[in-house]
């Protein structure tokens, strides 16, 4: 704890600081709760997309034989060209918002390739879209978690350090000023008492 001056000016400074910390703390706590709620929402959406992707992949089991019967390179069937995002703001944090994807599909020769490849291309696009959205959601979560960590640190700093420190400083300064005032009163009484004795002695000398 930094050394403080035992003055009325310092008492006012500590009192003002305490009021400031007590005013900001509820706002920080509210922001912390909002960030936590956003992370929970992102986690929920991430799980929804993950399950949707898994369901899609599981549904491809019946296509395995078809894949094995073709010489077409499925990895070249669909290529992602762009992940489309927008920018959102959560409690002052700029985050990417998933909008969709742009893809390119290989040109298929209707006479040389199987007809079901069109359906396969659609499924691959959907799978790629799910993966892209999960990537964006993961980035959202990362950014908000960073802000949550900083906000939590500030809440802890205010709750456990700054506010108790100000209260203790105010208590110490008030005790010191109170003791000074008591001592001043005592000195005044002593001085007054001594002054009365001197006056009596002078009066006695005059009478004599």
User: Residue ranges of the domains in the chain?
Assistant: 25-161
| Integer Cα distance of 88 and 95 in angstroms | 5
Task: Output the pLDDT for position 137.
Answer: 97
| Integer Cα distance of 194 and 95 in angstroms | 77
Task: Output the pLDDT for position 202.
Answer: 45
Task: Output the pLDDT for position 120.
Answer: 72
Q: Mind listing the pLDDT tens digit of every residue in the chain (208 residues)?
A: 568 888 999 999 999 999 999 999 999 999 999 999 999 999 999 999 999 999 988 876 666 555 555 555 555 667 888 999 999 998 889 999 999 999 887 665 555 555 556 677 788 889 889 999 999 999 999 999 999 999 999 999 999 999 999 999 999 999 999 878 777 666 666 766 665 544 555 445 555 5
Length of the chain: 208
Task: Output the pLDDT for position 68.
Answer: 55
Sequence-distant (6+) residues with CB within 8 A of 38 are 90, 91, 144
Which CATH architecture group holds 25-161?
A: Orthogonal Bundle (1.10)
CA-wise closest residue to 87 among 72, 97, 78, 75: 97
Instruction: Give whole-number Cα distances, 88 to 42, 99, 123, 204, in Å.
Output: 13, 12, 29, 93
- CA triplet 147, 84, 98: central angle to 5 degrees? 45
Task: Output the pLDDT for position 104.
Answer: 81
CA-wise closest residue to 22 among 174, 170, 146, 176: 170
β-bridge mates for residue 96, sequence order: 87
> In the chain, how many H helices and how many E strands?
4, 2
Q: What are phi and psi of 53, to 5 degrees?
A: -65, -40
């Amino acid at each position: 704890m930094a050394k403080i001056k035992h003055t009325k000016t310092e008492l006012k400074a500590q009192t003002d600081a305490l009021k400031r910390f007590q005013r900001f703390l509820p706002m920080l706590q509210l922001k912390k709760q909002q960030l936590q709620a956003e992370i929970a929402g992102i986690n929920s959406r991430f799980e929804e997309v993950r399950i949707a992707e898994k369901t899609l992949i599981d549904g491809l089991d019946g296509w395995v034989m078809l894949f094995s019967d073709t010489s077409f390179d499925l990895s070249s069937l669909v290529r992602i060209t762009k992940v489309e995002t927008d920018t959102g703001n959560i409690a002052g944090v700029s985050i990417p918002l998933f909008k969709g994807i742009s893809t390119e599909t290989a040109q298929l020769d209707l006479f040389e390739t199987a007809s079901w490849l069109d359906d396969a291309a659609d499924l691959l696009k959907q799978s790629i879209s799910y993966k892209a959205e999960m990537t964006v959601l993961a980035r959202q979560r990362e950014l908000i978690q960073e802000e949550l960590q900083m906000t939590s640190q500030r809440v802890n700093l205010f709750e456990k350090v700054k506010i108790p420190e100000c209260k203790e400083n105010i208590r110490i300064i008030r005790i010191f000023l109170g003791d000074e005032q008591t001592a001043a009163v005592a000195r005044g009484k002593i001085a007054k008492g001594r002054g009365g004795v001197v006056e009596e002695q002078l009066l006695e000398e005059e009478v004599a």
